[in-house]
Structure 1
Amino acid sequence: MKEYWENEHQMEVENRIRNLMWTVSGDYDLDVSLDVDSFQKSRYISLYDAVKQGAFARYFDKDALALYVLKKTFLGAEQKNLMRLAQTCVDAAVHKKVEEERSGVQEIRRQAFSDILEYDDRRLAESMTGMLRMAYMKKALAPGYRATRKLEQALTDVLSLEESSETMDIIRVVDDLYNRLLDRSFEEKQGGLDEVLAVTLEELAEFGWRDFLKENASEESFDDYMRRVSQAMTRTAQEDEQEKKEKREGNTHIVRVKEEDLQKVYSYVELNFGRSYLSRLEGKRLDYQLCRGAHGDCSLYFTEGILRSPVKNNYQYQYALRQAEQNKRVYYQNHNLARKNITILTGVLKQALMRRSEMEYVRDDHGHVTPNLLWKVGRTEDKRLFTRTISRNSTDFVVDVLIDASGSQRVRQPKVALQGYIISRALSSVEIPHRVMSFCTFWDYTVLHRFRDYDDDKSADKNIMEYTTSSNNRDGLAIRAAADGLLKRQEENKILIVLSDGRPNDIIVNRPNSKNPHTYGGEYAVTDTAREVRHARNMGISVLGVFAGKEIDLSAEKKIFGKDFAYIRDIANFSNVVGTYLKRQLDADG
């Protein structure tokens, strides 16, 4: 009986709070999760949460703000503190608007803030975002309150939203506060707000947000997660229930999907990366041949990119178009530097090839008679009285250039495209057959974007400016696929150049009826990639790693490529570093 009355009471509280939210929002179809539990501690906190949810839905685009939070988190922002900043900014943006229409809200807000400061002051004081939240509430209760200089500057930005009616204003303030208060290096590492907003829905859908894709990879699951994020942004004090669950269970990078969802994945890949130049049958044959061991249950997808083989003119197509234009702008801005690098690298290659093509004269027992050796006839047993000419093959080389195109390269896209172009242009100048591809992993598909094929003419080099980044990277499988293409070439001397940041990392798609695979990241992924490099070398392929990442990842790069890796700190020295390696390979095989 006690349980019955408790349930009745909870239902009554929930109905009361829901009616308040509906009244404020004016939308009686609005369906959100309500914080009923906090009513036990403070009814004002629960009531004010309902008011904010209604007001937020009425005056702003809650989905746009939630989507920004997901995109910022995708690029590495700490979600908990980002959400706290959003909560504070949302309150500033909505409270005056709703108070003007409903005077009683002001008292509810005042009581809610008083209760939070009484119950949660210690927890709030543990973080910068908590202290900002505390200072914001104290100033609301006592306008004369003064915080520290740093917090006062932040409060000025937050309070500026009281007069705002645009969701983008909230997003800009949240983004600026995060970069200024929590991670001053974020913009340098991942880019500014434009780069954050450029993250695609497809990238988010495969990222494996906490648990929203663990049970179901359908579009409805994404909507559910979006809804949960937008609701969390109106919390006044309580932790989101999902956050508590994550603390208990820990995080994961394994995505479990249903079979019907997997059937849609190929279409998503085709839509966002362009049609494959292989037939489905050819693709399956390569999967069977190459997707084994650590890459079992994975797939390969070969394309010439969304700009060359689009399914339709969608958002991803437009994003790729903009990025290609940006890559070209950076090239033209650094045209003299690029041309100098190309000239230097071309010169190094030409000299090495000329040495290989020089005639070599050796003494032998046949060939052209050497007159000054005829005195040995009948006097010595040395029969090498002839000179034979040996002509070495100067063009028996083939090169693959493989470029990491995962999301971690996003901030370096133009720079990486420029590096790829310099190598390709120099190789074209000396007529060495070469292929250039980028790679990233979307769900269980490792996408290999071919910019130019081995025997294309030099006009194809410019296609590298279409380089864009997305999603994750399964380096071991990409290297295995590139090596397979090289081994099918007739040239005796094969070289693979890998441009990466030394951070192989991929989620796992847990197919129905398959074993739970190992998460492809950290030491496991580094070891697997190093194994593929060693295997390629054992098969006669010379492998060079060109590293342009962060110094913290240098140890992983060394483990993957051993002594044959180049650390590019400055693009101006790029041709010298790569040229030295290529020259050594050409001389060694002579």
Structure 2
Amino acid sequence: GSLTDMLSEREAEREERRANNQIWTAARDYSLHSEYHAYNGDGTADVYMNSIIGAAYQCCDFGKLKELFQSFTRTAKGPEYEELVWIALENYAYERSKAERPALPGLRRQYARELVDGAARQERDMEETERLKLGHYRRALGEGMALTEREKKMLDALELPPELTEAEVVERLRDFFSVYYSFVPTVTARGSRSWLRHIRLGRRRNTLGATVRSEDDEESSKGDKRVRGRMSGERTEPEMREYLEEFFGPSMYGTGDLHRIEERLCTGNHWDCMLHFTRGGVTAGKLKNREALVQRSAARRQAEANRKYYMDDVIRNRLTIARLAEKIRNCILVHLDDAMIKSRAGQLDARSVWRAVYLGDGRIFQKHERTTDTELSVDVLLDASASQLQRQESVAAQAYILAESLTRCGVPVRVFSFCSVGACTVVRIYRDYGEEKRNDAVFDYSAAGFNRDGLGLRAANYMLSDTPYEHRLLITLSDCSPNDVKKINPPGGRSAEYQGKAGVEDSAMEVEKLRRMGVRVMCVFTGEESELPNARRIYGRELVRIRHISQFADAVGAVIVQLIGSM
């Protein structure tokens, strides 16, 4: 049945609007008119497959894909071929987009789980296309499936890798149909749009997962005018702010203050970027964004995984904390100046005796005390981009060990992270100076999105410029691989991708600015061997590579001691 068979006309229109919104959000293009929409069996818009359609528009050449779909009208197997193409596009668009779309992995797992569970009873009677689809989503869940040798090869060929160009995607798909079905896709007569009438993936009654369908000519032209009229232009700034608050937590600043901070920081290579500072937590009221709900749930699971990872090796971790704290404490005792402070016992200060007589103030003695609480502060900055997904637990454990060791020495610590989503760099504070009992909040660390290291470091510089501490140390935990979807678009200059050499040089420049401000900067490198040259370019010699947590106290302690010694 059609969408309107299952829902009233008004409900069908509402679901079409929802589908469009889901696609626009994923495509980051509110003027896009998508000819494809995905619906569940009950006619409701499917958030995951619509997100994939939007992502596919962002990274695929739909002109060429249209020709491919059009060629399927010549064969009775057309609907099955279309379904196979969408398996390929789902894999390609997902792999290309997962780093910048924080909720996509969670949405995919949920979609795959429902599809696999729903297929449990029908597995024996499935046709080849359905078995391939089930096999694909089983793989997505990390589960196996008894496939024939031919099916395995087909699935390997269909699961397109993200590094392919748009032209290579179409070429691979053409080869696939030629090799496995002896079908050579060719374009039918010009002007024939019959393929548009009902592109549905697996329209059989027991179809797996959501159905992706295309509009017919008449609906397409009507919808085109309606959609463009209703939603032209990009997502507005208030919409983007709301999206960020639901995803990451409410802003620490009012709109006016935030704009002033952005005017100061979002300049040069970052002039058209946004910032969002948050302490996490949930915004008041019900979350409107389904992605945000999924992301929140994934973040909760990650926090549990972080705590478990730490507790699984708790004895060694506590020893590491004790050793690192001892190294730092000894170094502070040797290098940081004593200060004479008023106290109720110690050496009599003759100039203060009058205070006891007239004010009843007993603090008329002086004694030596280490004033680490007014002299030295340490900020720990975590790279929270999706490139850290494989090592979230390890990064959280290292950050906790650092925070706990410094807390035991009476050193004020702040732990915060950065990542970027769309044009916005998100800075999240887990624990601030003076919050000695909040080290545990560091386990709430989770990775998502991209990393615009230069803007993250610039935000850290801004935060450090407003502290009362004389000696400031910034420790970053990073893989030193700057990579952001938002290009460098300097006013009047040439745009460039924010990755590779451009990203590294921008980050190195921000580290240099921090050092010129008197901030000591060091990096605990969490990346792969191939990124080490980047790390050295950005941070110079103040760089520690930890191959195992057992080295942490000695390696990190040595650099901290060296930096404190040079203050």
Structure 1 residue 171 corresponds to structure 2 residue 199: no
- For the structure 1 residues 414 and 51, does the alpha-carbon distance in structure 2 shift closer, same or farther, using more than 3 Å as the test? same
Matched to 2:323, the amino acid is I
1:180-199 correspondence to structure 2 within 5 Å? none
1:48-447 correspondence to structure 2 within 5 Å? 50-53=78-81, 56=83, 66-74=89-97, 162=128, 167-173=133-139, 236-237=177-178, 258-260=233-235, 263-306=238-281, 312=287, 314-356=293-335, 393-395=371-373, 396-447=375-426
Q: C-alpha deviations, 1:375-418, integer Å up to 9, x for none?
A: xxxxxxxxxxxxxx997744410111100001110101100011
Asked whether the 8 Å contact 1:259–1:512 carries over to 2, the reply is no
Matched to 1:236, the amino acid is F
- Unaligned 5+ segments in structure 2 are 1-40, 44-52, 54-61, 100-115, 117-124, 145-158, 179-183, 188-231, 340-346, 348-366
Q: 2:443 aligns with which of 442, 449, 465?
A: 465
**Whole-angstrom CA distance in 2 between matches of 1:553 and 1:352:** 31
**Whole-angstrom CA distance in 1 between matches of 2:72 and 2:421:** 45
Q: 2:75 aligns with which of 44, 47, 56?
A: 47
- Unaligned 5+ segments in structure 1 are 1-24, 77-92, 94-158, 179-195, 197-206, 212-227, 242-256, 361-367, 369-388
Asked whether the 8 Å contact 1:504–1:522 carries over to 2, the reply is yes
1:526-565 correspondence to structure 2 within 5 Å? 526-565=504-543
**Whole-angstrom CA distance in 2 between matches of 1:210 and 1:464:** 39
Matched to 2:249, the amino acid is G
Give the C-alpha shift of residue 314 in structure 1: 0.9
The alignment partner of 1:316 has SS state of helix
Give the C-alpha shift of residue 267 in structure 1: 2.1
- For the structure 1 residues 504 and 357, does the alpha-carbon distance in structure 2 shift closer, same or farther, using more than 3 Å as the test? closer
Structure 1 residue 497 corresponds to structure 2 residue 488: no
Q: C-alpha deviations, 1:25-78, integer Å up to 9, x for none?
A: 9x9xxx9999896799xx899415514247x49xxxx978854543234469xx
When the two chains are superposed, the root-mean-square deviation of aligned CA atoms in Å is 4.5
Give the C-alpha shift of residue 268 in structure 1: 1.8
- For the structure 1 residues 208 and 451, does the alpha-carbon distance in structure 2 shift closer, same or farther, using more than 3 Å as the test? farther
Q: C-alpha deviations, 1:521-551, integer Å up to 9, x for none?
A: 1101100100110111011000001101000
**Whole-angstrom CA distance in 1 between matches of 2:499 and 2:65:** 37
The alignment partner of 2:483 has SS state of coil
Q: C-alpha deviations, 1:65-118, integer Å up to 9, x for none?
A: 854543234469xxxxxxxxxxxxxxxx9xxxxxxxxxxxxxxxxxxxxxxxxx
Asked whether the 8 Å contact 1:274–1:309 carries over to 2, the reply is no
Q: C-alpha deviations, 1:325-361, integer Å up to 9, x for none?
A: 111111111212211111111111111122246879x
Structure 1 residue 456 corresponds to structure 2 residue 435: yes
Give the C-alpha shift of residue 288 in structure 1: 0.7
Asked whether the 8 Å contact 2:246–2:282 carries over to 1, the reply is no
Matched to 2:516, the amino acid is N
**Whole-angstrom CA distance in 1 between matches of 2:501 and 2:262:** 25
Matched to 1:266, the amino acid is R
Asked whether the 8 Å contact 1:295–1:477 carries over to 2, the reply is yes
- For the structure 1 residues 209 and 432, does the alpha-carbon distance in structure 2 shift closer, same or farther, using more than 3 Å as the test? farther
The alignment partner of 1:329 has SS state of helix
Q: 2:552 aligns with which of 566, 569, 574?
A: 574
Matched to 2:269, the amino acid is A
Instruction: State the identity as a percent.
Output: 27
Q: What's the TM-score, normalizing by structure 1?
A: 0.57
Give the C-alpha shift of residue 172 in structure 1: 2.8
- For the structure 1 residues 272 and 502, does the alpha-carbon distance in structure 2 shift closer, same or farther, using more than 3 Å as the test? same
1:480-495 correspondence to structure 2 within 5 Å? 480-495=458-473
**Whole-angstrom CA distance in 2 between matches of 1:440 and 1:583:** 29
**Whole-angstrom CA distance in 2 between matches of 1:426 and 1:166:** 52
Give the C-alpha shift of residue 259 in structure 1: 3.9
Q: C-alpha deviations, 1:306-330, integer Å up to 9, x for none?
A: 5688963711111111111111111
Q: C-alpha deviations, 1:118-170, integer Å up to 9, x for none?
A: xxxxxxxxxxxxxxxxxxxxxxxxxxxxxxxxxxxxxxxxx998496694433
Matched to 1:72, the amino acid is E
Give the C-alpha shift of residue 520 in structure 1: 1.1
Matched to 2:386, the amino acid is G
Aligned to 1:383: none
The alignment partner of 2:442 has SS state of helix
**Whole-angstrom CA distance in 2 between matches of 1:208 and 1:445:** 25
Matched to 1:585, the amino acid is L
Matched to 1:47, the amino acid is T
Aligned to 1:17: none
**Whole-angstrom CA distance in 2 between matches of 1:424 and 1:310:** 33
Aligned length: 387
Q: C-alpha deviations, 1:199-250, integer Å up to 9, x for none?
A: xxxxxxxx99989xxxxxxxxxxxxxxxx99x96997246899xxxxxxxxx
- For the structure 1 residues 160 and 343, does the alpha-carbon distance in structure 2 shift closer, same or farther, using more than 3 Å as the test? farther
- For the structure 1 residues 578 and 37, does the alpha-carbon distance in structure 2 shift closer, same or farther, using more than 3 Å as the test? closer
**Whole-angstrom CA distance in 2 between matches of 1:552 and 1:426:** 31
Matched to 2:511, the amino acid is V
The alignment partner of 1:484 has SS state of helix
- For the structure 1 residues 432 and 561, does the alpha-carbon distance in structure 2 shift closer, same or farther, using more than 3 Å as the test? same
Asked whether the 8 Å contact 1:537–1:543 carries over to 2, the reply is yes
- For the structure 1 residues 240 and 550, does the alpha-carbon distance in structure 2 shift closer, same or farther, using more than 3 Å as the test? farther
Q: 1:478 aligns with which of 439, 453, 456?
A: 456
Asked whether the 8 Å contact 1:545–1:566 carries over to 2, the reply is yes
